[in-house]
Structure 1
């Protein structure tokens, strides 16, 4: 994906506010061999680009000052309640340097699995992305996980995922995180009919309920 950025001369709260009023979004690009550089982008074009999953997880081509550089989106700051992007950070990408990035997970086949089709399990997607380490050329747009073999009350963990060539899972602490779990639905117990003695009530109470009323 490609986008256009422009050099930004002024910085500070006041300058950034004026940029946003004029329909621009302040940002910065850093990393690689160059110095951090202040940039600005057209807000509407950026807003629509951010709605695409690939913009968050792919190597992007940034045109700046007539030159094209490969970058990766690193951070986005949104306004608390208005549809406004307040700031964006990009990192330059070196083709020879491994990088750490979060990659989205796409799931398929769960409706055909025995867990769903026969046992009527509910499939819980515990994780929707994983963090991996790889060279820029090996970065996938997403990782697809086939759940057609999911069985009753089974789980899929990070170690069960077959990562594409060149990718390594970045672990934070020990353990093997669960990615997907199949869970049996909770069946609600039926309430006793009105006037019927509750389950576990004393035998005398049940007998009284069955005994005919005495005539006066």
Structure 2
């Protein structure tokens, strides 16, 4: 079962760009909570506490216990706006989750034992991670914080697909429900590195072949006369 994570917020009534700017200047982040068959709620969260939380992987995929004015509701982060160059969070969107309703969320992939696998220990082999996260569907209580991909047996030429992920009970991958190989995406590929070998230059052609026609010596007048 996933670890509990907590955030604290307060409700706000002032909205609009001007109100949001004032909030940011005071060290807070404007946010909204929506969904869950309830009306959207505007909230504010202390920036420094939020920034520390955002440095953790769980912040982007785990269900969070969000306490708004003392009332706790379970939410998932759906969107986050950052300042283009400052270490500042500008706005957040949270989605309420219901215990009895399946949800969809993107979960990070953790790759283990790659270095000790046959492919990982082979010289000239490149192991690429085609995906770093995958969307899953499950009840909130079953949502994993990450999915582990064990690459201990990976050899050159192997391709690991979505369908090979070992999923916890109650968790599915919606993309696979469509059927067909085009939906069973590759997540790991082990292949030989491409070595571009420059071909040796061919032997230089005869000098006369390289001499422009304009610079080829003209025959002497006497020689021309002899050929007549």
1:35 and 2:29 correspond:
no
Residue 104 of structure 1 corresponds to 108
Which residue does 1:211 correspond to in 2? none
Separation in 1, partners of 2:198, 2:116: 31
User: What secondary structure sits across from 2:86 in the alignment?
Assistant: coil
Tell me, yes or no, if the aligned pair for 1:32 and 1:93 is still in contact at 8 Å. yes
- Aligned counterpart in structure 2 of residue 164 of structure 1, from 151, 168, 176: 168
Structure 1 segment 109-124 matched on structure 2, within 5 A: 109-118=113-122, 120-124=124-128
- 8 Å Cα contact 1:121-1:153 kept in structure 2: no
Partner of 1:79: 83
Aligned-pair CA distance for 1:161:
1.1
1:81-104 deviation per Cα after TM superposition (whole angstroms, max 9, x unaligned): 221111001111100000000000
Pairing 1:181–2:189 present: yes
Q: Tell me, in whole angstroms, the C-alpha distance in 1 between the residues paired with 2:204 and 2:72.
A: 83
1:64 aligned to which of 59, 65, 68? 68
Paired residues for 1:188-207 under 5 Å:
188-189=196-197, 192=200, 198-199=201-202, 201=203
1:50 aligns with 2:54: yes
- Tell me if structure 2 keeps the 8 A contact 1:103–1:141: yes
SS class of match (2:184): coil
Q: Any idea what SS the aligned residue of 2:75 has? A: strand
1:95 to 96, 99, 109: 99
How far is the alpha carbon of 1:119 from its aligned partner?
5.1
TM-score by length of 2: 0.82
Alpha-carbon RMSD across the aligned residues, in angstroms, is: 1.9
Residue 16 in structure 1 maps to residue 24 in structure 2:
no
Provide, for residues 172-201 of structure 1, a one-character-per-residue CA deviation record: whole Å limited to 9, x for no partner: 974321101112122242675xxxxx24x3
Unpaired runs of 5+ residues, structure 1, are 193-197, 206-216
1:152 is aligned to 2:152: no
Equivalent pairs, count: 199
SS at match of 1:150: coil
CA distance in 1, matches of 2:57, 2:26: 27
Can you list the C-alpha shifts for 1:3-36, whole angstroms capped at 9, x where unaligned? Answer: 1001011000110011111111000001113211
Of 131, 134, 155, which residue of structure 1 is paired with 2:135?
Answer: 131
Structure 2, gaps ≥5 residues long: 208-228
How far apart are 1:68 and its partner, in Å? 1.2
TM-score by length of 1: 0.86
1:10 alignment partner, SS class: coil
